[in-house]
Amino acid sequence: MQNKVKTGLNMTGAQMSPDDSERMLDAALSIKPDVKGTTKGIAEQRRLRVVESDQVGSVPIPGTAKGMMKTAINKLMGKQPEVLIDKLGERLAFERSGTRLYEALIAKAEALDGTPEAMLRDLRHFQKEEADHMQLVVEAIERLGADPTAQTPCADVTGVASMGIMQVITDPRTTLSQSLNAILMAELTDNAGWELLIELARQAGQTEIAEAFGKALKQEQHHLVTVRAWLEKDLTSQLS
Ligand SMILES: [Fe+2]
């Protein structure tokens, strides 16, 4: 596959067939939907569902006596350990996804002609760091007496949100820059996620966890800057 965007017989735009486009607009105005309801109705249905619905899962009660103690102590101090545990679960899920995203991106970069060896080396290094970060979060969750194998609500939600990024990268038709753009979305979220988690850990009085996460944030900042630079370089080279 050629690794740059190409021109071709794309028929999706209205300019390709002005007459048909006009007829389609006329039809949209004259033919009424055969399903009753309006956008107001959809909004009302959504509102009802939100009011009726339960949440996406729950944060499990720590399964160990030590964890129960810690949770009880923090509760007495007015802290809500489940908030931090939920977000730690989210970070764990995201770092696991990140490892898999890089795995898929490495396969694509290796398959395409002309990928610089330095880029492949960095991609492999970033993948390893994502896996290390996952382990770092596992240790933090265990330190709080919680279970790192449990899927917390935020872990579930972030897994759903990452699905599109994975689809883009594993699609064999997408170019390197399209895949880099997808991983840029992940890295931007990753950076913001670590910053927030460090702040939450600090506010929950977990300073050691916050400090340990500082190193991961620095590495994530480097991922972000590098991916942005690769994307810019790839696209500007296509311009010339
Ligand atoms: Fe990253």
Distance 190 CA to ligand 1 centre (A): 6
Distance 98 CA to ligand 1 centre (A): 7
Distance 70 CA to ligand 1 centre (A): 31
Distance 183 CA to ligand 1 centre (A): 9
Supply the pLDDT for residue 70. Answer: 59
Sketch out the chain's domains with CATH numbers. 69-239 (1.20.1260.10)
Distance 100 CA to ligand 1 centre (A): 11
Distance 154 CA to ligand 1 centre (A): 18
Distance 230 CA to ligand 1 centre (A): 14
Supply the pLDDT for residue 76. Answer: 39
Distance 224 CA to ligand 1 centre (A): 7
Distance 240 CA to ligand 1 centre (A): 30
Distance 130 CA to ligand 1 centre (A): 6
- Give per-residue pLDDT as tens, 107-116: 999 999 889 9
Other beta carbons within 10 angstroms of residue 17's beta carbon come to 12
On average, the pLDDT of the chain sits at 91
Supply the pLDDT for residue 74. Answer: 58
Distance 208 CA to ligand 1 centre (A): 22
Give percent of the chain with pLDDT exceeding 70.
92
- Give per-residue pLDDT as tens, 82-125: 899 999 999 999 999 999 999 999 999 999 988 999 999 999 99
Distance 57 CA to ligand 1 centre (A): 27
Per-residue pLDDT band for 77 (boundaries 50, 70, 90) equals: very low
Distance 126 CA to ligand 1 centre (A): 7
Q: What is the DSSP string of the chain?
A: --SS--------SGGG-HHHHHHHHHHHHHSPPSS---HHHHHHHHHHHHHH---S--PPPPSSHHHHHHHHHHHHTT--HHHHHHHHHHHHHHHHHHHHHHHHHHHHHHHSTT--HHHHHHHHHHHHHHHHHHHHHHHHHHHTT--TTS--HHHHHHHHHHHHHHHHHH-TT--HHHHHHHHHHHHHHHHHHHHHHHHHHHHTT-HHHHHHHHHHHHHHHHHHHHHHHHHHHHHHHHH-
Distance 127 CA to ligand 1 centre (A): 8
Write out the residues surrounding ion ligand 1, Cβ under 5 A. 190, 220, 223
